[in-house]
Structure 1
Protein backbone atom coordinates (compact mmCIF):
# COMPACT_ATOMS: atom_id res chain seq x y z
CA UNK A 1 0.00 0.00 0.00
CA UNK A 2 1.46 3.36 -1.02
CA UNK A 3 0.45 6.88 -0.13
CA UNK A 4 1.36 10.06 -1.99
CA UNK A 5 0.38 13.69 -1.79
CA UNK A 6 0.79 17.07 -3.42
CA UNK A 7 -0.81 20.34 -2.49
CA UNK A 8 -3.17 22.10 -4.87
CA UNK A 9 -5.11 25.29 -4.37
CA UNK A 10 -8.85 25.21 -4.80
CA UNK A 11 -10.14 28.01 -7.01
CA UNK A 12 -12.64 29.76 -4.76
CA UNK A 13 -13.73 32.32 -7.33
CA UNK A 14 -15.07 35.55 -5.98
CA UNK A 15 -15.96 34.31 -2.50
CA UNK A 16 -15.63 37.16 -0.04
CA UNK A 17 -14.37 35.99 3.34
CA UNK A 18 -13.03 39.24 4.72
CA UNK A 19 -9.53 38.79 6.11
CA UNK A 20 -9.85 35.03 6.48
CA UNK A 21 -7.11 33.18 4.58
CA UNK A 22 -8.34 30.88 1.86
CA UNK A 23 -7.60 27.25 2.75
CA UNK A 24 -5.45 24.93 0.67
CA UNK A 25 -6.42 21.37 -0.15
CA UNK A 26 -4.56 18.15 -0.64
CA UNK A 27 -4.66 15.72 -3.50
CA UNK A 28 -4.17 12.27 -1.99
CA UNK A 29 -3.34 9.01 -3.72
CA UNK A 30 -3.50 5.37 -2.66
CA UNK A 31 -2.62 2.35 -4.82
CA UNK A 32 -4.45 -0.95 -4.38
CA UNK A 33 -2.94 -3.45 -6.80
CA UNK A 34 -3.58 -1.98 -10.24
CA UNK A 35 -6.27 0.37 -8.89
CA UNK A 36 -5.55 4.02 -8.14
CA UNK A 37 -7.69 5.81 -5.56
CA UNK A 38 -7.38 9.60 -5.63
CA UNK A 39 -8.85 12.17 -3.28
CA UNK A 40 -9.82 15.36 -5.14
CA UNK A 41 -10.98 18.68 -3.73
CA UNK A 42 -14.38 20.22 -4.40
CA UNK A 43 -13.50 23.21 -2.22
CA UNK A 44 -14.96 23.61 1.25
CA UNK A 45 -18.14 24.47 3.11
CA UNK A 46 -18.60 27.41 5.48
CA UNK A 47 -20.95 26.51 8.33
CA UNK A 48 -21.83 27.79 11.80
CA UNK A 49 -20.25 25.61 14.47
CA UNK A 50 -23.61 25.35 16.23
CA UNK A 51 -24.80 23.23 13.31
CA UNK A 52 -22.52 20.47 14.64
CA UNK A 53 -22.11 21.21 18.36
CA UNK A 54 -25.42 22.46 19.72
CA UNK A 55 -26.67 20.41 22.66
CA UNK A 56 -23.34 18.68 23.39
CA UNK A 57 -21.64 18.77 26.83
CA UNK A 58 -19.95 22.14 26.51
CA UNK A 59 -17.09 21.70 28.99
CA UNK A 60 -15.82 18.49 27.40
CA UNK A 61 -16.50 19.88 23.94
CA UNK A 62 -14.33 22.93 24.70
CA UNK A 63 -11.44 20.67 25.67
CA UNK A 64 -11.73 18.65 22.45
CA UNK A 65 -11.97 21.72 20.24
CA UNK A 66 -9.04 23.34 22.01
CA UNK A 67 -6.84 20.27 21.47
CA UNK A 68 -7.61 20.37 17.74
CA UNK A 69 -7.53 24.18 17.34
CA UNK A 70 -11.14 24.17 16.13
CA UNK A 71 -12.95 27.54 16.32
CA UNK A 72 -16.22 27.84 18.21
CA UNK A 73 -17.99 30.12 15.77
CA UNK A 74 -17.47 28.88 12.22
CA UNK A 75 -16.17 25.72 10.55
CA UNK A 76 -14.83 25.29 7.03
CA UNK A 77 -14.87 21.54 6.40
CA UNK A 78 -13.10 20.44 3.23
CA UNK A 79 -14.98 18.49 0.57
CA UNK A 80 -12.97 15.50 -0.70
CA UNK A 81 -14.36 13.53 -3.62
CA UNK A 82 -12.90 10.13 -4.46
CA UNK A 83 -11.77 9.13 -7.94
CA UNK A 84 -11.10 5.47 -8.75
CA UNK A 85 -9.17 4.38 -11.83
CA UNK A 86 -9.43 0.62 -12.34
CA UNK A 87 -9.67 -1.71 -15.33
CA UNK A 88 -10.63 1.00 -17.79
CA UNK A 89 -13.23 2.56 -15.49
CA UNK A 90 -12.97 6.07 -14.09
CA UNK A 91 -15.34 6.18 -11.14
CA UNK A 92 -16.22 9.34 -9.22
CA UNK A 93 -17.75 8.91 -5.78
CA UNK A 94 -20.22 11.81 -5.40
CA UNK A 95 -20.60 14.75 -7.78
CA UNK A 96 -19.76 17.66 -5.51
CA UNK A 97 -21.77 20.77 -4.75
CA UNK A 98 -21.98 22.28 -8.20
CA UNK A 99 -22.53 26.00 -8.84
CA UNK A 100 -25.76 26.50 -6.89
CA UNK A 101 -25.03 25.52 -3.29
CA UNK A 102 -22.14 27.50 -1.77
CA UNK A 103 -19.54 29.76 -3.42
CA UNK A 104 -16.63 28.12 -1.60
CA UNK A 105 -17.47 24.70 -3.07
CA UNK A 106 -18.16 23.30 -6.53
CA UNK A 107 -14.54 23.03 -7.67
CA UNK A 108 -14.50 19.41 -8.88
CA UNK A 109 -14.39 20.39 -12.61
CA UNK A 110 -11.08 22.16 -11.94
CA UNK A 111 -9.76 19.21 -9.96
CA UNK A 112 -10.68 16.84 -12.78
CA UNK A 113 -8.96 19.13 -15.27
CA UNK A 114 -5.80 18.97 -13.16
CA UNK A 115 -5.98 15.17 -13.60
CA UNK A 116 -6.24 15.56 -17.37
CA UNK A 117 -9.91 14.59 -17.28
CA UNK A 118 -13.19 16.09 -18.38
CA UNK A 119 -16.64 15.14 -17.03
CA UNK A 120 -17.13 13.17 -20.25
CA UNK A 121 -14.28 10.84 -19.24
CA UNK A 122 -16.10 9.69 -16.09
CA UNK A 123 -17.64 6.25 -16.62
CA UNK A 124 -19.51 5.97 -13.31
CA UNK A 125 -20.69 8.34 -10.58
CA UNK A 126 -21.54 6.56 -7.32
CA UNK A 127 -23.35 8.52 -4.62
CA UNK A 128 -22.87 8.11 -0.89
CA UNK A 129 -26.02 10.17 -0.33
CA UNK A 130 -28.04 13.03 -1.77
CA UNK A 131 -27.14 16.04 0.35
CA UNK A 132 -26.32 19.17 -1.69
CA UNK A 133 -22.51 19.00 -1.42
CA UNK A 134 -22.60 15.42 -2.77
CA UNK A 135 -25.37 15.56 -5.39
CA UNK A 136 -25.94 19.07 -6.69
CA UNK A 137 -22.84 18.99 -8.89
CA UNK A 138 -24.64 16.55 -11.16
CA UNK A 139 -26.22 19.52 -13.02
CA UNK A 140 -24.48 22.59 -14.47
CA UNK A 141 -25.54 26.25 -14.52
CA UNK A 142 -28.08 25.45 -17.24
CA UNK A 143 -29.53 22.41 -15.43
CA UNK A 144 -27.91 20.08 -17.93
CA UNK A 145 -26.32 16.81 -16.73
CA UNK A 146 -22.58 17.28 -16.14
CA UNK A 147 -21.67 13.60 -16.42
CA UNK A 148 -23.84 12.84 -19.41
CA UNK A 149 -21.83 9.78 -20.52
CA UNK A 150 -21.62 8.16 -17.09
CA UNK A 151 -23.63 5.44 -15.41
CA UNK A 152 -25.02 6.90 -12.18
CA UNK A 153 -25.52 4.72 -9.11
CA UNK A 154 -27.24 5.36 -5.78
CA UNK A 155 -28.56 3.20 -2.95
CA UNK A 156 -32.20 2.20 -3.28
CA UNK A 157 -33.17 3.46 0.19
CA UNK A 158 -31.56 6.83 -0.52
CA UNK A 159 -33.31 7.11 -3.88
CA UNK A 160 -36.69 6.23 -2.39
CA UNK A 161 -36.30 8.74 0.42
CA UNK A 162 -35.40 11.75 -1.71
CA UNK A 163 -37.90 10.99 -4.49
CA UNK A 164 -40.76 10.55 -2.00
CA UNK A 165 -42.97 13.66 -2.33
CA UNK A 166 -43.67 13.53 1.43
CA UNK A 167 -40.00 14.05 2.33
CA UNK A 168 -40.12 17.83 1.93
CA UNK A 169 -42.88 17.97 4.57
CA UNK A 170 -41.20 15.60 7.05
CA UNK A 171 -37.51 16.48 6.84
CA UNK A 172 -37.84 19.71 8.84
CA UNK A 173 -37.73 23.34 7.79
CA UNK A 174 -33.93 23.62 8.00
CA UNK A 175 -33.47 20.90 5.36
CA UNK A 176 -36.55 21.44 3.22
CA UNK A 177 -34.47 23.05 0.48
CA UNK A 178 -32.26 19.93 0.47
CA UNK A 179 -35.32 17.82 -0.30
CA UNK A 180 -36.54 20.10 -3.09
CA UNK A 181 -33.08 20.29 -4.64
CA UNK A 182 -32.48 16.55 -4.44
CA UNK A 183 -35.85 15.65 -5.94
CA UNK A 184 -35.34 18.01 -8.87
CA UNK A 185 -31.85 16.74 -9.65
CA UNK A 186 -32.71 13.07 -9.29
CA UNK A 187 -35.66 13.54 -11.63
CA UNK A 188 -33.34 15.13 -14.18
CA UNK A 189 -30.96 12.13 -14.17
CA UNK A 190 -33.47 9.32 -13.65
CA UNK A 191 -32.69 7.77 -17.03
CA UNK A 192 -29.03 7.30 -16.06
CA UNK A 193 -29.60 5.91 -12.56
CA UNK A 194 -29.26 2.35 -11.35
CA UNK A 195 -29.99 1.30 -7.76
CA UNK A 196 -28.23 -1.04 -5.36
CA UNK A 197 -28.35 -2.19 -1.74
CA UNK A 198 -25.82 -2.54 1.04
CA UNK A 199 -23.75 -5.72 0.86
CA UNK A 200 -23.63 -5.72 -2.94
CA UNK A 201 -20.46 -5.58 -5.02
CA UNK A 202 -21.54 -2.70 -7.24
CA UNK A 203 -18.37 -2.74 -9.38
CA UNK A 204 -15.41 -5.14 -9.42
CA UNK A 205 -13.59 -4.65 -6.13
CA UNK A 206 -16.15 -2.13 -4.77
CA UNK A 207 -18.50 -3.26 -1.99
CA UNK A 208 -21.38 -1.09 -0.75
CA UNK A 209 -21.86 -0.81 3.02
CA UNK A 210 -25.09 0.59 4.46
CA UNK A 211 -24.10 3.37 6.89
CA UNK A 212 -27.40 5.13 7.67
CA UNK A 213 -28.04 7.98 10.07
CA UNK A 214 -26.54 10.97 8.33
CA UNK A 215 -29.28 10.30 5.80
CA UNK A 216 -31.69 7.34 5.77
CA UNK A 217 -29.88 5.55 2.95
CA UNK A 218 -26.29 6.75 3.35
CA UNK A 219 -23.73 4.34 1.86
CA UNK A 220 -19.98 3.86 2.27
CA UNK A 221 -17.85 1.92 -0.20
CA UNK A 222 -15.01 -0.51 0.47
CA UNK A 223 -12.49 -0.62 -2.36
CA UNK A 224 -10.35 -3.72 -1.90
CA UNK A 225 -7.47 -5.57 -3.52
CA UNK A 226 -6.44 -8.62 -1.54
CA UNK A 227 -5.53 -7.61 2.01
CA UNK A 228 -5.45 -3.87 1.24
CA UNK A 229 -8.57 -1.71 1.30
CA UNK A 230 -9.84 1.82 1.65
CA UNK A 231 -13.31 2.90 2.75
CA UNK A 232 -14.95 5.80 0.95
CA UNK A 233 -16.78 7.03 4.02
CA UNK A 234 -18.90 9.90 2.75
CA UNK A 235 -20.34 11.73 5.77
CA UNK A 236 -20.65 8.70 8.05
CA UNK A 237 -17.66 10.16 9.92
CA UNK A 238 -17.89 13.90 9.63
CA UNK A 239 -14.77 15.41 11.19
CA UNK A 240 -11.42 14.54 12.78
CA UNK A 241 -12.12 15.91 16.25
CA UNK A 242 -15.46 15.22 17.99
CA UNK A 243 -16.41 12.30 15.73
CA UNK A 244 -13.24 10.38 16.68
CA UNK A 245 -12.92 11.34 20.33
CA UNK A 246 -16.62 11.01 21.14
CA UNK A 247 -18.24 9.00 18.32
CA UNK A 248 -21.13 8.23 20.68
CA UNK A 249 -22.18 11.88 20.77
CA UNK A 250 -25.07 12.92 18.56
CA UNK A 251 -24.18 15.20 15.66
CA UNK A 252 -26.46 17.95 14.47
CA UNK A 253 -25.27 17.22 10.95
CA UNK A 254 -27.00 13.83 10.99
CA UNK A 255 -30.67 13.60 10.10
CA UNK A 256 -31.08 10.75 12.61
CA UNK A 257 -28.52 11.64 15.27
CA UNK A 258 -28.87 8.49 17.39
CA UNK A 259 -28.61 6.16 14.40
CA UNK A 260 -25.71 8.23 13.06
CA UNK A 261 -23.80 7.75 16.31
CA UNK A 262 -24.38 3.98 16.31
CA UNK A 263 -23.23 3.78 12.69
CA UNK A 264 -20.15 5.90 13.44
CA UNK A 265 -19.09 3.68 16.35
CA UNK A 266 -19.57 0.53 14.29
CA UNK A 267 -17.67 1.91 11.31
CA UNK A 268 -14.75 3.20 13.39
CA UNK A 269 -14.45 -0.18 15.07
CA UNK A 270 -14.41 -1.93 11.69
CA UNK A 271 -11.78 0.41 10.25
CA UNK A 272 -9.48 0.06 13.26
CA UNK A 273 -9.96 -3.68 13.69
CA UNK A 274 -9.59 -4.62 10.02
CA UNK A 275 -6.87 -2.04 9.24
CA UNK A 276 -8.89 -0.41 6.46
CA UNK A 277 -7.80 3.05 5.31
CA UNK A 278 -10.42 5.81 5.26
CA UNK A 279 -11.08 8.52 2.70
CA UNK A 280 -13.56 10.82 4.41
CA UNK A 281 -15.48 13.52 2.58
CA UNK A 282 -14.96 16.19 5.24
CA UNK A 283 -11.70 15.03 6.82
CA UNK A 284 -8.51 17.15 6.66
CA UNK A 285 -5.33 16.60 4.62
CA UNK A 286 -7.28 15.41 1.59
CA UNK A 287 -9.34 13.02 3.72
CA UNK A 288 -7.07 9.97 3.45
CA UNK A 289 -5.66 8.28 6.52
CA UNK A 290 -6.02 5.54 9.09
CA UNK A 291 -8.12 5.06 12.18
CA UNK A 292 -6.43 3.94 15.38
CA UNK A 293 -7.80 3.29 18.83
CA UNK A 294 -6.67 5.74 21.49
CA UNK A 295 -7.66 4.59 24.99
CA UNK A 296 -11.47 4.52 24.90
CA UNK A 297 -11.75 6.62 21.74
CA UNK A 298 -10.16 6.86 18.27
CA UNK A 299 -7.83 9.11 16.34
CA UNK A 300 -7.39 9.90 12.67
CA UNK A 301 -3.85 9.61 11.30
CA UNK A 302 -3.62 11.42 7.96
CA UNK A 303 -1.65 9.67 5.25
CA UNK A 304 0.65 12.66 4.86
CA UNK A 305 1.48 12.96 8.56
Structure 2
Protein backbone atom coordinates (compact mmCIF):
# COMPACT_ATOMS: atom_id res chain seq x y z
CA UNK A 1 0.00 0.00 0.00
CA UNK A 2 1.30 3.44 -0.91
CA UNK A 3 1.74 5.95 1.83
CA UNK A 4 3.72 9.14 2.10
CA UNK A 5 6.71 7.41 3.67
CA UNK A 6 7.07 4.75 0.95
CA UNK A 7 6.59 7.32 -1.80
CA UNK A 8 9.23 9.66 -0.45
CA UNK A 9 11.51 6.74 0.33
CA UNK A 10 11.40 5.64 -3.30
CA UNK A 11 12.20 9.18 -4.36
CA UNK A 12 15.22 9.39 -2.10
CA UNK A 13 16.63 6.09 -3.35
CA UNK A 14 16.02 6.68 -7.05
CA UNK A 15 19.36 8.25 -7.93
CA UNK A 16 21.28 5.33 -6.45
CA UNK A 17 19.14 2.40 -7.49
CA UNK A 18 17.86 3.37 -10.91
CA UNK A 19 19.75 6.18 -12.65
CA UNK A 20 17.77 7.78 -15.44
CA UNK A 21 18.56 6.98 -19.04
CA UNK A 22 17.50 10.11 -20.87
CA UNK A 23 16.94 10.98 -24.49
CA UNK A 24 16.93 14.76 -24.56
CA UNK A 25 14.90 15.16 -27.74
CA UNK A 26 12.78 12.06 -27.39
CA UNK A 27 10.75 12.38 -30.57
CA UNK A 28 9.62 15.02 -33.00
CA UNK A 29 6.91 15.54 -35.57
CA UNK A 30 5.53 18.31 -37.75
CA UNK A 31 1.86 19.18 -37.89
CA UNK A 32 1.63 21.43 -40.90
CA UNK A 33 4.28 24.06 -40.20
CA UNK A 34 4.18 23.46 -36.42
CA UNK A 35 7.28 21.76 -35.01
CA UNK A 36 6.67 19.50 -32.01
CA UNK A 37 9.45 17.96 -29.91
CA UNK A 38 9.23 15.89 -26.78
CA UNK A 39 11.90 16.56 -24.18
CA UNK A 40 12.96 14.23 -21.40
CA UNK A 41 12.63 15.57 -17.87
CA UNK A 42 14.12 12.29 -16.65
CA UNK A 43 11.97 9.66 -14.99
CA UNK A 44 10.07 8.96 -11.79
CA UNK A 45 10.68 6.13 -9.36
CA UNK A 46 7.42 4.92 -7.86
CA UNK A 47 6.24 2.06 -5.70
CA UNK A 48 4.43 -0.24 -8.14
CA UNK A 49 1.29 -0.09 -6.00
CA UNK A 50 1.01 3.63 -6.70
CA UNK A 51 -0.31 2.58 -10.12
CA UNK A 52 -1.10 -1.14 -9.86
CA UNK A 53 -2.52 -1.35 -6.35
CA UNK A 54 -6.07 -2.65 -6.07
CA UNK A 55 -6.26 -4.11 -9.58
CA UNK A 56 -7.51 -7.70 -10.15
CA UNK A 57 -4.42 -9.75 -9.39
CA UNK A 58 -4.93 -12.71 -11.73
CA UNK A 59 -5.50 -10.52 -14.79
CA UNK A 60 -2.84 -8.06 -13.68
CA UNK A 61 -0.25 -10.86 -13.48
CA UNK A 62 -0.68 -11.52 -17.21
CA UNK A 63 -0.10 -7.83 -18.03
CA UNK A 64 2.89 -7.57 -15.68
CA UNK A 65 4.52 -10.55 -17.40
CA UNK A 66 3.63 -9.32 -20.90
CA UNK A 67 5.31 -5.95 -20.34
CA UNK A 68 8.09 -7.13 -18.06
CA UNK A 69 6.97 -4.88 -15.21
CA UNK A 70 8.39 -4.96 -11.72
CA UNK A 71 5.86 -5.57 -8.97
CA UNK A 72 8.02 -3.53 -6.59
CA UNK A 73 9.01 -0.38 -8.45
CA UNK A 74 8.09 1.41 -11.68
CA UNK A 75 10.21 4.03 -13.47
CA UNK A 76 7.95 5.91 -15.88
CA UNK A 77 9.60 8.44 -18.21
CA UNK A 78 8.60 12.10 -18.14
CA UNK A 79 8.04 13.75 -21.53
CA UNK A 80 7.57 17.52 -21.74
CA UNK A 81 6.15 18.75 -25.04
CA UNK A 82 7.71 21.72 -26.86
CA UNK A 83 5.72 23.35 -29.68
CA UNK A 84 7.11 25.99 -32.03
CA UNK A 85 4.98 27.57 -34.75
CA UNK A 86 7.35 30.32 -35.90
CA UNK A 87 5.73 32.89 -33.61
CA UNK A 88 5.10 31.10 -30.32
CA UNK A 89 7.34 28.77 -28.35
CA UNK A 90 5.08 26.75 -26.08
CA UNK A 91 5.83 24.26 -23.31
CA UNK A 92 3.11 21.87 -22.24
CA UNK A 93 4.09 21.28 -18.58
CA UNK A 94 7.50 22.14 -17.13
CA UNK A 95 8.66 18.98 -15.39
CA UNK A 96 9.48 18.36 -11.75
CA UNK A 97 12.28 20.81 -11.03
CA UNK A 98 14.95 19.94 -8.42
CA UNK A 99 12.73 19.36 -5.39
CA UNK A 100 10.67 16.27 -6.24
CA UNK A 101 12.84 13.29 -7.21
CA UNK A 102 16.54 13.23 -8.12
CA UNK A 103 15.88 11.19 -11.26
CA UNK A 104 13.62 13.94 -12.65
CA UNK A 105 13.86 17.70 -13.14
CA UNK A 106 16.15 17.62 -16.20
CA UNK A 107 14.20 19.93 -18.52
CA UNK A 108 16.85 22.69 -18.52
CA UNK A 109 19.38 20.30 -20.03
CA UNK A 110 16.86 19.11 -22.61
CA UNK A 111 16.07 22.66 -23.71
CA UNK A 112 19.76 23.47 -23.93
CA UNK A 113 20.26 20.50 -26.24
CA UNK A 114 17.77 22.08 -28.65
CA UNK A 115 19.26 25.56 -28.18
CA UNK A 116 16.06 26.88 -26.60
CA UNK A 117 16.61 29.41 -23.80
CA UNK A 118 14.17 29.96 -20.93
CA UNK A 119 13.49 33.48 -22.19
CA UNK A 120 12.49 32.11 -25.62
CA UNK A 121 9.43 30.42 -24.17
CA UNK A 122 6.32 32.51 -24.82
CA UNK A 123 3.68 30.28 -23.20
CA UNK A 124 3.65 27.62 -20.50
CA UNK A 125 0.51 25.47 -20.55
CA UNK A 126 -0.28 23.06 -17.72
CA UNK A 127 -2.23 19.84 -18.09
CA UNK A 128 -2.58 19.62 -14.30
CA UNK A 129 -0.96 20.43 -10.98
CA UNK A 130 0.96 17.29 -9.98
CA UNK A 131 4.62 17.81 -9.01
CA UNK A 132 6.20 16.16 -12.05
CA UNK A 133 4.28 18.56 -14.30
CA UNK A 134 4.30 21.78 -12.27
CA UNK A 135 7.17 22.02 -9.80
CA UNK A 136 9.72 23.05 -12.42
CA UNK A 137 8.19 26.51 -12.83
CA UNK A 138 10.33 28.33 -10.22
CA UNK A 139 14.07 28.81 -9.73
CA UNK A 140 15.98 28.49 -6.45
CA UNK A 141 14.91 32.03 -5.50
CA UNK A 142 11.22 31.22 -6.08
CA UNK A 143 11.16 33.38 -9.21
CA UNK A 144 9.42 32.17 -12.39
CA UNK A 145 11.93 30.39 -14.61
CA UNK A 146 10.01 31.25 -17.76
CA UNK A 147 9.91 34.93 -16.98
CA UNK A 148 8.68 36.07 -20.41
CA UNK A 149 5.94 33.44 -20.70
CA UNK A 150 2.20 33.62 -20.28
CA UNK A 151 1.19 30.81 -17.92
CA UNK A 152 -2.05 28.97 -18.75
CA UNK A 153 -4.18 26.49 -16.79
CA UNK A 154 -7.81 25.46 -16.50
CA UNK A 155 -9.70 27.48 -13.92
CA UNK A 156 -11.01 24.40 -12.08
CA UNK A 157 -7.51 22.93 -11.79
CA UNK A 158 -6.03 26.19 -10.50
CA UNK A 159 -8.85 26.64 -7.99
CA UNK A 160 -8.42 23.10 -6.70
CA UNK A 161 -4.70 23.38 -6.00
CA UNK A 162 -4.91 26.86 -4.49
CA UNK A 163 -7.82 25.95 -2.18
CA UNK A 164 -6.45 25.71 1.40
CA UNK A 165 -8.77 22.75 2.05
CA UNK A 166 -7.08 20.62 -0.62
CA UNK A 167 -4.06 19.84 1.54
CA UNK A 168 -6.41 18.61 4.29
CA UNK A 169 -8.55 16.40 2.04
CA UNK A 170 -6.23 15.03 -0.64
CA UNK A 171 -4.83 12.24 1.56
CA UNK A 172 -1.50 11.77 3.32
CA UNK A 173 0.33 10.39 0.28
CA UNK A 174 -0.39 13.58 -1.68
CA UNK A 175 -0.27 16.28 1.00
CA UNK A 176 3.10 17.52 -0.24
CA UNK A 177 1.66 17.66 -3.76
CA UNK A 178 -0.99 20.12 -2.60
CA UNK A 179 1.34 22.26 -0.49
CA UNK A 180 3.91 22.47 -3.29
CA UNK A 181 1.35 23.31 -5.95
CA UNK A 182 -0.27 26.03 -3.86
CA UNK A 183 3.08 27.70 -3.18
CA UNK A 184 4.15 27.70 -6.80
CA UNK A 185 0.82 28.73 -8.26
CA UNK A 186 0.64 31.57 -5.76
CA UNK A 187 3.85 33.01 -7.19
CA UNK A 188 2.54 33.02 -10.78
CA UNK A 189 -1.11 33.81 -10.05
CA UNK A 190 -0.86 37.32 -11.46
CA UNK A 191 0.47 36.04 -14.79
CA UNK A 192 -1.92 33.09 -15.10
CA UNK A 193 -4.43 33.00 -17.95
CA UNK A 194 -7.35 30.67 -17.34
CA UNK A 195 -8.56 28.42 -20.12
CA UNK A 196 -11.83 26.58 -20.71
CA UNK A 197 -12.83 23.29 -22.28
CA UNK A 198 -12.92 23.65 -26.07
CA UNK A 199 -11.08 26.96 -26.10
CA UNK A 200 -8.51 27.68 -28.79
CA UNK A 201 -5.66 28.79 -26.54
CA UNK A 202 -3.35 29.68 -29.44
CA UNK A 203 -3.75 29.29 -33.20
CA UNK A 204 -4.13 25.59 -33.94
CA UNK A 205 -4.11 24.57 -30.25
CA UNK A 206 -7.33 23.73 -28.37
CA UNK A 207 -8.03 22.64 -24.80
CA UNK A 208 -10.03 19.57 -23.88
CA UNK A 209 -11.22 18.79 -20.37
CA UNK A 210 -10.11 15.26 -19.40
CA UNK A 211 -10.92 14.99 -15.67
CA UNK A 212 -10.30 12.23 -13.18
CA UNK A 213 -6.54 12.03 -12.82
CA UNK A 214 -7.06 15.42 -11.19
CA UNK A 215 -10.32 17.38 -11.01
CA UNK A 216 -9.53 19.80 -13.84
CA UNK A 217 -6.99 17.86 -15.91
CA UNK A 218 -6.78 19.04 -19.52
CA UNK A 219 -5.46 17.58 -22.76
CA UNK A 220 -4.59 19.72 -25.79
CA UNK A 221 -5.18 19.10 -29.46
CA UNK A 222 -2.67 20.60 -31.88
CA UNK A 223 -4.09 20.73 -35.40
CA UNK A 224 -3.23 21.96 -38.87
CA UNK A 225 -5.71 21.04 -41.56
CA UNK A 226 -6.46 17.32 -41.30
CA UNK A 227 -3.30 16.54 -39.31
CA UNK A 228 -3.31 16.58 -35.52
CA UNK A 229 -1.65 15.45 -32.31
CA UNK A 230 -3.23 15.21 -28.86
CA UNK A 231 -1.06 16.09 -25.85
CA UNK A 232 -2.80 13.90 -23.26
CA UNK A 233 -0.79 14.61 -20.13
CA UNK A 234 -1.70 11.92 -17.59
CA UNK A 235 -5.18 11.22 -18.94
CA UNK A 236 -3.49 8.10 -20.36
CA UNK A 237 -0.81 7.47 -17.78
CA UNK A 238 1.16 4.45 -19.00
CA UNK A 239 1.59 2.05 -21.93
CA UNK A 240 0.55 -1.12 -20.11
CA UNK A 241 -2.56 -1.33 -17.90
CA UNK A 242 -3.98 1.97 -19.18
CA UNK A 243 -4.15 0.46 -22.69
CA UNK A 244 -4.83 -3.18 -21.79
CA UNK A 245 -7.55 -2.40 -19.22
CA UNK A 246 -8.47 1.29 -19.54
CA UNK A 247 -11.59 0.89 -17.40
CA UNK A 248 -9.65 -0.32 -14.38
CA UNK A 249 -9.25 2.45 -11.79
CA UNK A 250 -5.59 3.29 -11.18
CA UNK A 251 -3.99 4.26 -7.90
CA UNK A 252 -2.28 7.18 -9.62
CA UNK A 253 -5.62 8.85 -10.35
CA UNK A 254 -7.31 11.01 -7.74
CA UNK A 255 -10.79 9.98 -8.91
CA UNK A 256 -10.28 6.48 -10.24
CA UNK A 257 -13.74 5.87 -11.68
CA UNK A 258 -13.95 9.21 -13.46
CA UNK A 259 -10.39 8.88 -14.79
CA UNK A 260 -11.17 5.41 -16.14
CA UNK A 261 -14.21 6.70 -18.03
CA UNK A 262 -12.17 9.59 -19.44
CA UNK A 263 -9.32 7.27 -20.44
CA UNK A 264 -11.57 4.75 -22.20
CA UNK A 265 -13.36 7.45 -24.19
CA UNK A 266 -10.09 9.14 -25.15
CA UNK A 267 -8.46 5.90 -26.31
CA UNK A 268 -11.53 5.04 -28.34
CA UNK A 269 -11.46 8.44 -30.05
CA UNK A 270 -7.73 8.37 -30.74
CA UNK A 271 -7.94 4.88 -32.25
CA UNK A 272 -11.00 5.69 -34.36
CA UNK A 273 -9.60 8.99 -35.64
CA UNK A 274 -6.05 7.59 -36.09
CA UNK A 275 -4.84 10.66 -34.25
CA UNK A 276 -1.33 10.70 -32.82
CA UNK A 277 -0.88 11.32 -29.13
CA UNK A 278 1.90 12.43 -26.80
CA UNK A 279 1.73 10.97 -23.32
CA UNK A 280 3.75 12.42 -20.47
CA UNK A 281 4.62 8.96 -19.16
CA UNK A 282 4.57 6.92 -22.38
CA UNK A 283 7.81 5.26 -23.59
CA UNK A 284 10.17 6.17 -26.43
CA UNK A 285 9.58 9.91 -26.16
CA UNK A 286 5.83 9.56 -25.69
CA UNK A 287 4.77 10.08 -29.31
CA UNK A 288 2.71 7.39 -30.99
CA UNK A 289 -0.66 6.07 -32.03
CA UNK A 290 -3.41 4.03 -30.43
CA UNK A 291 -4.48 0.79 -32.07
CA UNK A 292 -7.54 -1.20 -31.08
CA UNK A 293 -6.60 -4.74 -30.02
CA UNK A 294 -9.82 -6.67 -29.50
CA UNK A 295 -11.38 -5.25 -26.35
CA UNK A 296 -8.09 -3.57 -25.41
CA UNK A 297 -5.72 -1.08 -27.03
CA UNK A 298 -2.05 -0.95 -27.96
CA UNK A 299 0.43 1.92 -27.91
CA UNK A 300 2.54 2.07 -31.07
CA UNK A 301 5.47 4.44 -30.61
CA UNK A 302 6.73 6.75 -33.35
CA UNK A 303 10.14 8.40 -33.33
TM-score class, shorter: over 0.9
Cα deviations by residue, 1:43-64 (Å, 9 ceiling, x for unpaired): 0000000111111111111110
Determine the C-alpha separation between the residues in 2 that align with 1:146 and 1:101: 16
* Structure 2 contact 14–45 (Cα < 8 Å) conserved: no
Superposed, which structure 2 residues align to 1:126-275 within 5 Å? 126-275=125-274
* Structure 2 contact 38–82 (Cα < 8 Å) conserved: yes
Is 2:39 the counterpart of 1:40?
Answer: yes
- Structure 2 length-normalised TM: 0.93
Partner SS for 2:231: strand
Equivalent of 2:21 in 16, 20, 23: 23
Higher helix share: 2
- What is the match of residue 115 of structure 2? 116
Q: Where does structure 1 lack aligned partners over 5 or more consecutive residues?
A: 1-13
* Structure 2 contact 77–282 (Cα < 8 Å) conserved: yes
- Structure 1 length-normalised TM: 0.93
Partner SS for 2:98: coil
- What is the match of residue 296 of structure 2? 297
1:88 Cα deviation after fit: 1.1
- What is the match of residue 8 of structure 2? none
Partner SS for 1:285: coil
Determine the C-alpha separation between the residues in 2 that align with 1:77 and 1:54: 16
- What is the match of residue 9 of structure 2? none
Partner SS for 2:153: strand
Partner SS for 1:130: coil
Partner SS for 1:244: helix
Cα deviations by residue, 1:136-188 (Å, 9 ceiling, x for unpaired): 00011221110011000000110111111111111111111111111100000
Partner SS for 2:84: strand
Determine the C-alpha separation between the residues in 2 that align with 1:173 and 1:108: 28
Which runs of 4 or more aligned residues in structure 1 lie more than 3 Å from their structure 2 counterparts after TM superposition?
Answer: none
Determine the C-alpha separation between the residues in 2 that align with 1:192 and 1:297: 42
Determine the C-alpha separation between the residues in 2 that align with 1:86 and 1:65: 40
Partner SS for 2:289: strand
Partner SS for 2:285: helix
Determine the C-alpha separation between the residues in 1 that align with 2:214 and 2:33: 33
1:15 Cα deviation after fit: 6.2
Partner SS for 1:265: helix
Partner SS for 2:290: strand
Tell me: CA distance 1:69–1:137, structure 2 relative to 1, closer, same or farther (3 Å). same
Partner SS for 1:253: coil
Is 2:124 the counterpart of 1:125?
Answer: yes
Deviates more, 1:215-224 or 1:68-77: 68-77
Determine the C-alpha separation between the residues in 1 that align with 2:207 and 2:221: 7
Give the count of matched residue pairs. 290
* Structure 2 contact 22–40 (Cα < 8 Å) conserved: no
* Structure 1 contact 93–128 (Cα < 8 Å) conserved: yes
Tell me: CA distance 1:15–1:59, structure 2 relative to 1, closer, same or farther (3 Å). closer
1:23 Cα deviation after fit: 2.4
Determine the C-alpha separation between the residues in 2 that align with 1:210 and 1:16: 35
Determine the C-alpha separation between the residues in 2 that align with 1:283 and 1:154: 22
1:16 Cα deviation after fit: 3.4
Partner SS for 1:213: coil
* Structure 1 contact 99–140 (Cα < 8 Å) conserved: no
